[in-house]
A and B are shown apart, each in its own frame.
Chain A
Amino acid sequence: MILVWLILIPFLGGLLCWQAERWSDQAPRWIALGTMLFVLVISVVLWWGVDFSLPGGAGSQWLLEWRVPWIPRFGIEIHLALDGLSLILVALTGFLGALAVLCSWHEIADRIGFFHLNLLFILGGVVGVFLALDLFLFFLFWEMMLVPMYFLIALWGHSGSPGQTRIRAATRFFIYTQASGLLMLVAIIALVFVNFSNTGELSFSYDVLRKADVPEPLAFWLMLGFFIAFAVKLPVVPFHGWLPDAHAQAPTAGSVDLAGILLKTAAYGILRFALPLFPEQSQAFAPVAMTLGLVGIIYGAVLACGQQDIKRLIAYTSISHMGFVLIALYSGSELAIQGAIVLMVAHAFSSAGLFILSGQLYERIHTRDMRMMGGLWGRIPVLPGFTVCLVAASLGMPATANFVGEFMVLFGTFPSAPVTVVIASIGLVLAAIYSLLLMQRVHHGPAYRAGPLAGPDAREYGIMLALLVLTLAVGLYPQPLLDTTADVAAPIAELFTGSTELAVRSGEVN
């Protein structure tokens, strides 16, 4: 039942925020903050209460499970389940949700109640995605979170260059994801009907469909249906058109949610659904997926170097980082998959941090154009220091979580795809270039204008400190995270071991 509450709390909180606007302007903010902290606390308590060191083979692979029939006509259930991966991502959602509320404390000044309604509905939908196990339910949440995100960008976003309005960016985001989502829906339905004609059982259940025996050419197309939906969201390079605009035009809270959580739903979807449902086809597809990942790494990094808009720059680095995740997911190595999970968490911290920083800069100098920055080091106290740290995290400096993730990804993938790893390493060099470029153009060089600017207040200070501490904590001691997700990564890696002999086990790293 607690799983249902994890999903319901943000929705109820959102409705409350909407109505709370009548009382005062601050009420929705506090309610939203309380709601997200509540979700965070629940997930942390759950995490605390479970011993992940036990072998997960006993009984079910799920720590918690909840299912009731929903639409029996099609065998659709409300089936929620939680394992280590979902737990971490739900906790991350709660944490970044709270940050998103905090960072828009002063930025959003009008329609506050409705803003927080949308924000919390997104987060509720994301939690739903991480918990849903019935494919219909999963799709429902997957699509559902788009609508509030659309409103967030369209109503509270910034208009960029002429012709690139926020509504246009929001619409593009929505159409990209919705259209690809419909492909996934078609794939899901086809999978269900194939299973129905084989076994006579009409069911959208994950467990049932995993055993479905799909004839060969069809299975490949269905796998592709899932992959494209996730690839758009991740984003993988030919499908990334929506991302830079959506990020650049979104309000800070929207960018934080997009980069921090929404992109992770795609990686989660691949891990949870695309790979286990179609193991052989995924394996056959792995070289293509890895190539796409490589293209993404290089493309994102190169384009990031050329951006003038600070948020677009960070957006392109996301494409680059997600390329690493994609490579790892299709590598079939437990180590790399665990690395991907660490990298997802790390990227959530670092990119959310950078987006929040650029939001804070925007509040001070009212531009996101880096040509109109420069020399801020001397003008703003403290914030440049945080920027250095987060930029260092983003480029994968040792001792940060990003380093652990990228290292594990590259190390784990090497045995199965050495060439890929070698090329991907170029991405690390490029990461250093764009990160330092960002630092140089924003904070160093000649000052664009003179005069000191306000330093961070306690709220801003707290946000940055929390992100920094977490980045370092995961970077220095990632073991608890790895223990939690070991049960998830191992079976997925085993799906691939039919042909790839894995020499590297996570035990060697331990």
Chain B
Amino acid sequence: MLTLANLMAILPLIIVAATAILVMLGIAWQRHHGGTVMVSASGLVLALISMPLAISALSSPPLLTVDGLAIMGSVLVLLCALVTVALSHHYLAGYTGPKEEFYLLLLCAVTGALGLVASSHLATLFISLELLSMPLYGMLAYSFRTERSLEAGIKYLILSAAATGFMLFGMALIYARTGQLDLAGLAAGMTAGPDAWALAGASMMVVGLGFKLSIVPFHLWTPDVYQGGPAPATIFLATVSKLAVFVLLLRLTMTAPVFNNDWLNSLFTLLALITMLGGNLLALFQSDIKRLLGYSSIAHFGYLLVAIVAGGSLAAETVGVYLITYLLATLAAFGVVTRLSSPSVGEDAAGLHHYRGLFWRRPWLAAVMTVSFLSLAGIPLTAGFIGKFYVLALGVADSRWWLVGGIVAGSAIGLFYYLRVMVTLYLPAPGMRRMDATNDWGNRIGGLTLLVVAVSILVLGVYPMPIILWVSELSTIAF
């Protein structure tokens, strides 16, 4: 039975869903881009504000678990969505087709993500995952008149469907073995230790989730989709979608013992190694920033898999801190791409040559880009270093020397392409005029958001205590 406390606990989800309906009705009544943005943003902010209520409710409705991990995931999802909305406004202003539906899709996907981070039952897991993915197809193919965007949407649709198939098959196998669908029941049903069927089911679920997280060897869609999708959709895919799925993976491995099996653990180790090395190696000679960031996100999720392998109390904290640092850097990097692109002039400004000499044209934008790339590369005094430190500490504390070696090698390789992009920003552009373009203050919200993100990368790099405290507090709350 749903009680009032239950409803309180999922208040953010309800608010976001309600906002989605409101936006839909609004569009039916009268189209207004600015108004839609305002409504969507207020809905997300309202959901954020209701977060403390959800925490204080101290209860979990059926099929969902509102614990520290879920709270952390929800807050991050909402924040990323908010930044995406702020950046989309400027981007979509140059789009000739209908603009408002983008926010509708986005809000639906956020609802799915909020459900996904809290799901403790395979049914909610599946529904939320699909609710997250379906709108993404639409978002990726949003500027469907450009070939690449359509290609991205369809590619993601087909591969995602395949992944879903794997996922369902895996769930079915586990269900056949235990007769349970909720995670606690799964844990109880397999006290005797997993057999081959359960293991097969678990590995199939890993394959399904691996597709969403673009873990090597299930990463083939990533570069094309990143490159083709409109920049705001790519931001959403790179941040909210991956974050929610990863939180889910963490929950699965922490609660269901089948994922703690030795064999699966070695599988995860192997996946982590090839993901971090593969992602970095493939990124080496990319000349398209969006593809490059796609490969870089593959590598980052390779580092994050270390937390899944190691497990334990430090792992949840590591995941939290690393995700925050990764999200900030990714938002800033894609944010700059978004600010420079506009669908009215064709494809996104993703080629590296667009960025040559950016510092001398738009110094602040280039500074944001530099900070985000430094953070992605894990250079000290940026948040990324704190994340890398956590992952290394976790690997060392758990004596996973292979993974530690992988991280070191991966980071060294990664530097090459991060530096390449960074130095491009500062090279003199042919025929450049110094300090020529002023910042386009007409798009104030997007620009300010970017600056805030970049400043928080630096602040968290210098003084990371707030997020460490927040994450470690949350990772101990379990209801």
Measured between beta carbons, the chain B residues less than 8 angstroms from A139 are 380
Whether the Cβ atoms of B423 and A179 lie closer than 8 Å is: no
Complex: A73 Cα to B464 Cα, angstroms: 10
Whether the Cβ atoms of A110 and B428 lie closer than 8 Å is: yes
B409-426 CB mask vs A (1 if < 8 Å, else 0) is: 101100110011001001
Whether the Cβ atoms of A151 and B412 lie closer than 8 Å is: no
Q: Is A140 an interface residue (CB 8 A)?
A: yes
Whether the Cβ atoms of A155 and B392 lie closer than 8 Å is: no
A139 to chain B, nearest CB (A): 7
Whether the Cβ atoms of B420 and A171 lie closer than 8 Å is: yes
Measured between beta carbons, the chain A residues less than 8 angstroms from B411 are 178-179, 182
Whether the Cβ atoms of A190 and B396 lie closer than 8 Å is: yes
Interface size class of B (residues with CB under 8 A): 20 to 34
Q: Is B393 an interface residue (CB 8 A)?
A: yes
Whether the Cβ atoms of B408 and A170 lie closer than 8 Å is: no
Given that A110-B428, A182-B408, A186-B396 are contacting pairs, would A174 and B465 also be in contact in the complex, using a CB cutoff of 8 Å? Answer: no
Q: Is A107 an interface residue (CB 8 A)?
A: no
Whether the Cβ atoms of B426 and A155 lie closer than 8 Å is: yes
Which of B392, B426, B469, B472 meets A185, CB within 8 Å?
Answer: B392
Q: Is B404 an interface residue (CB 8 A)?
A: yes
A147-170 CB mask vs B (1 if < 8 Å, else 0) is: 100110011000000000001001
- In this complex, the member of B380, B385, B419 whose beta carbon has the largest number of chain A beta carbons within 10 angstroms is B380
Given that A71-B468, A186-B392, A186-B396 are contacting pairs, would A175 and B408 also be in contact in the complex, using a CB cutoff of 8 Å? Answer: no
Whether the Cβ atoms of A179 and B379 lie closer than 8 Å is: no
Whether the Cβ atoms of A174 and B419 lie closer than 8 Å is: yes
A227 to chain B, nearest CB (A): 16
Q: Is B427 an interface residue (CB 8 A)?
A: yes
Q: Is B381 an interface residue (CB 8 A)?
A: yes
Q: Is B397 an interface residue (CB 8 A)?
A: yes
Given that A71-B464, A73-B472, A150-B419 are contacting pairs, would A186 and B404 also be in contact in the complex, using a CB cutoff of 8 Å? Answer: yes
Whether the Cβ atoms of A73 and B468 lie closer than 8 Å is: yes
Whether the Cβ atoms of B381 and A144 lie closer than 8 Å is: yes
A365 to chain B, nearest CB (A): 25
- In this complex, the member of A72, A139, A140 whose beta carbon has the largest number of chain B beta carbons within 10 angstroms is A140
Given that A140-B380, A147-B374 are contacting pairs, would A186 and B472 also be in contact in the complex, using a CB cutoff of 8 Å? Answer: no
Whether the Cβ atoms of A179 and B412 lie closer than 8 Å is: yes
Whether the Cβ atoms of B381 and A140 lie closer than 8 Å is: yes
Q: Is B218 an interface residue (CB 8 A)?
A: no
Measured between beta carbons, the chain B residues less than 8 angstroms from A71 are 464-465, 468
Q: Is A183 an interface residue (CB 8 A)?
A: yes
Whether the Cβ atoms of B469 and A179 lie closer than 8 Å is: no
Q: Say what secondary structure dominates the interface of chain A.
A: helix
B401 to chain A, nearest CB (A): 9
Q: Which residue of A lies closest to B359 (CB)?
A: A114
Q: Is B175 an interface residue (CB 8 A)?
A: no
Whether the Cβ atoms of A143 and B379 lie closer than 8 Å is: yes
Q: Which residue of B lies closest to A182 (CB)?
A: B408
Measured between beta carbons, the chain A residues less than 8 angstroms from B404 are 186
Q: Is A105 an interface residue (CB 8 A)?
A: no
A241 to chain B, nearest CB (A): 14
Interface size class of A (residues with CB under 8 A): 20 to 34
Whether the Cβ atoms of B408 and A183 lie closer than 8 Å is: yes
Complex: A110 Cα to B433 Cα, angstroms: 12
A67-82 CB mask vs B (1 if < 8 Å, else 0) is: 0001111100000000
Whether the Cβ atoms of B380 and A170 lie closer than 8 Å is: no
Q: Is B169 an interface residue (CB 8 A)?
A: no
Measured between beta carbons, the chain B residues less than 8 angstroms from A146 are 379
Q: Is A193 an interface residue (CB 8 A)?
A: yes
Measured between beta carbons, the chain B residues less than 8 angstroms from A111 are 360, 426
B377 to chain A, nearest CB (A): 8
Given that A73-B472, A189-B392, A193-B397 are contacting pairs, would A178 and B412 also be in contact in the complex, using a CB cutoff of 8 Å? Answer: yes
Q: Is B95 an interface residue (CB 8 A)?
A: no
Whether the Cβ atoms of B392 and A175 lie closer than 8 Å is: no
Q: Is B389 an interface residue (CB 8 A)?
A: yes
Complex: A185 Cα to B393 Cα, angstroms: 9
Q: Which residue of A lies closest to B407 (CB)?
A: A182
Measured between beta carbons, the chain B residues less than 8 angstroms from A154 are 419, 423, 426
Measured between beta carbons, the chain A residues less than 8 angstroms from B469 are 73
Whether the Cβ atoms of A174 and B415 lie closer than 8 Å is: yes
A243 to chain B, nearest CB (A): 18
B191-234 CB mask vs A (1 if < 8 Å, else 0) is: 00000000000000000000000000000000000000000000
Given that A72-B465, A185-B392, A186-B396 are contacting pairs, would A167 and B423 also be in contact in the complex, using a CB cutoff of 8 Å? Answer: yes
Given that A71-B464, A175-B412 are contacting pairs, would A155 and B427 also be in contact in the complex, using a CB cutoff of 8 Å? Answer: yes
Whether the Cβ atoms of A73 and B396 lie closer than 8 Å is: no
B366-406 CB mask vs A (1 if < 8 Å, else 0) is: 00000000100001110001000100110011000000100
B462-479 CB mask vs A (1 if < 8 Å, else 0) is: 011100110010000000
Whether the Cβ atoms of B392 and A171 lie closer than 8 Å is: no
Complex: A146 Cα to B378 Cα, angstroms: 13
Q: List 17 A-B contacts (CB under 8 A).
A: A71-B464, A72-B465, A73-B468, A111-B360, A140-B385, A143-B380, A147-B374, A150-B419, A154-B419, A167-B423, A174-B419, A179-B409, A179-B412, A182-B407, A185-B392, A186-B408, A190-B396
Residues in chain A within 8 A of chain B (CB atoms)? 70-74, 110-111, 114, 136, 139-141, 143-144, 146-147, 150-151, 154-155, 167, 170-171, 174-175, 178-179, 182-183, 185-186, 189-190, 193
Residues in chain B within 8 A of chain A (CB atoms)? 359-360, 374, 379-381, 385, 389, 392-393, 396-397, 404, 407-409, 411-412, 415-416, 419-420, 423, 426-428, 463-465, 468-469, 472
A-B contacts besides A150-B423, A154-B426, A182-B407, 6 pairs, CB < 8 Å: A72-B465, A73-B465, A144-B380, A151-B423, A186-B404, A193-B397
Shortest 8 CB-CB contacts between residues of A and residues of B? A179-B412, A140-B380, A182-B408, A189-B396, A143-B380, A154-B423, A73-B468, A190-B396
